[in-house]
Amino acid sequence: MNGGGGGFLSPEVKLQWSRIRTWLREEYGDTVYNNWFKPMTLLRVDAGCAWIGVPTPYTRDWSQQNYQSRLRARWNEENRKVTAVEFVVANVAVGEVDPGETDPPPAVAPRDILDGDERGIGALLDPRFTFENFVVGKPNEFAHAAAKRVAEATIAESLQPPFNPLFLHGGVGLGKTHLMHAIAWEMRRQRPTRRFIYLSAEKFMYQFVRALRSKDTMPFKELFRSVDVLLIDDFQFIGGKESTQEEFFHTFNALVDMNRQIVISADKSPSDLDIEERMRSRLVHGMVADVHPTTYELRLVILQSKAEHLRLAIPLRVLEFLAHKITSNVRELEGALNRIMAHAQFIGRDITVDTAEEVLQDLLKKNDRRVTIDEIQKRVAEHYNIRSADMHSARRAREIARPRQVAMYLCKMLTPRSLPEIGKKFGGRDHTTVIHAIRRIEELSVADKTLAEDLAILTRLLQTGERGN
């Protein structure tokens, strides 16, 4: 079929191209469509071939490699006489309307992919991981605020990172990945034309090694250095990989020089990672935010929020039981709730503490390391280099009183003991003294970074049974 020479396209061909563009948008999503397909221009259709203009040689090569077969198949469905698709570099004047774009394609629901996913590079976004679904508490409020600030900057008219990079670190299942996905979702919703890639450091390494082996690193470099925002998860896996660190170092510098935002997460702080000193220096130059282990109160709020979101009627006593028993991470906590609900629906039994214990035997056994008040007092005393007996004494010197308050706070967070029971174990003190200690530590830990780190370290050591340094 001949669509006409000299740039003329018949109404039939225009309609075919318009349907193909609509399909491309539905198939690949708004971000990929805007970055790769929207700049394409249908030049002509003749001799069984659709000739499509693209703006650059790089776009031409990439389109041939990744989209040619799909477009050829789609064209053949629309027009049996079209059996080939060719891409050529052709500059279209600014403001010129693509003959196939007679009307704007209809809006489509965003797909759960990021730019780069169809190339096997980016990772899937979890639709649950948004800012709206993130439960904020003292252990994560600073990291949440930093992530929100970055998200606001990425959707502003002029992308100007407030700090670069944003480095989130903390234990497994505490919300680092949730915050990274939330930044990406917010940007995708507000600024769909912005280009970004989210992936793990392990996948970054794999893609780089593959490019090295094929002796074709330019597309790799161009791709990662052309994004507006780069989000790298589980950065600890890059430790000890010298060539990958070298490539990431140059990618990092190139993006920072262009005012492009970088967000990184890891299970350790930059100072504890097995990376080159020059890379460590770049990381600490930005904003480093620690996601601390959850407190009992935060775990309970998370469970209540999830139950409310799923419209589940779960007795408060069961939620409190789970918040006390499962202290490892939020992922296991939510998994436990899902298991209880599934069991109740399948078996038809009421949800009680007894049924929860029965259903979660394996998980509870794993988490059932009972932390005692005596153990807390001993561990806190060792940490602050005071005597265990000072926990029971009447001494009010600051070097004794503050560790004693820390111990009372941890007893409330890590044991099911009542306030009077806790007070009794601290030299027979009144429950109001315990309340004052808990509130005092909560207030101080917000502004005192050293105290917050002490609490995080002590909590981890007590929950895992590890020995301190």
- Asked if residue 31 has pLDDT above 80, the reply is no
- Asked if residue 116 has pLDDT above 60, the reply is no
Identity of residue 165? P
Mean pLDDT of the chain: 82
Q: Are the C-beta atoms of 204 and 234 separated by less than 8 Å?
A: no
Confidence at residue 108, expressed as pLDDT on a 0 to 100 scale = 29
- Asked if residue 457 has pLDDT above 60, the reply is yes
- Asked if residue 227 has pLDDT above 60, the reply is yes
Confidence at residue 93, expressed as pLDDT on a 0 to 100 scale = 35
Residue 401 binned pLDDT confidence (cut-offs 50, 70, 90): very high
Confidence at residue 146, expressed as pLDDT on a 0 to 100 scale = 95
Residue 122 binned pLDDT confidence (cut-offs 50, 70, 90): low
Confidence at residue 221, expressed as pLDDT on a 0 to 100 scale = 85
Per the listing, tokens 């007893």 go with: 411
- The encoded tokens of residue 334 equal 């939510």
- Asked if residue 96 has pLDDT above 60, the reply is no
Q: What is the 3-state secondary structure (H, E, C) of 110-129?
A: CCCCCCCHHHCCCCCCCCCC
Residue 468 binned pLDDT confidence (cut-offs 50, 70, 90): low
Q: Are the C-beta atoms of 45 and 9 separated by less than 8 Å?
A: yes
Distance CA 399, CA 434 (A): 18
| Cα dihedral across residues 373, 469, 285, 182: positive or negative | negative
Share of the chain above pLDDT 70, in %: 88
- Asked if residue 3 has pLDDT above 90, the reply is no
Which is more confidently placed, 295 or 426?
A: 426
Name the range with the highest mean pLDDT among 95-109, 339-353, 367-381, 399-413.
399-413
Per the listing, tokens 């561990």 go with: 379
- The encoded tokens of residue 74 equal 């789609």
Residue range 128-153: average pLDDT? 91
Residue range 302-320: average pLDDT? 84
Distance CA 12, CA 22 (A): 16
- Asked if residue 103 has pLDDT above 60, the reply is no
Residue 145 binned pLDDT confidence (cut-offs 50, 70, 90): very high
Distance CA 146, CA 152 (A): 10
Across 109-113, 243-247, 263-267, least confident range: 109-113
Domains and their CATH numbers in the chain:
11-108 (3.30.300.180), 141-291 (3.40.50.300), 296-367 (1.10.8.60), 373-464 (1.10.1750.10)
- Asked if residue 364 has pLDDT above 90, the reply is no
Across 89-93, 116-120, 127-131, 305-309, least confident range: 116-120
Residue range 34-46: average pLDDT? 84
Instruction: Give the closest residue to 412 by CA, choosing from 294, 291, 293, 295.
Output: 295
Distance CA 431, CA 103 (A): 71
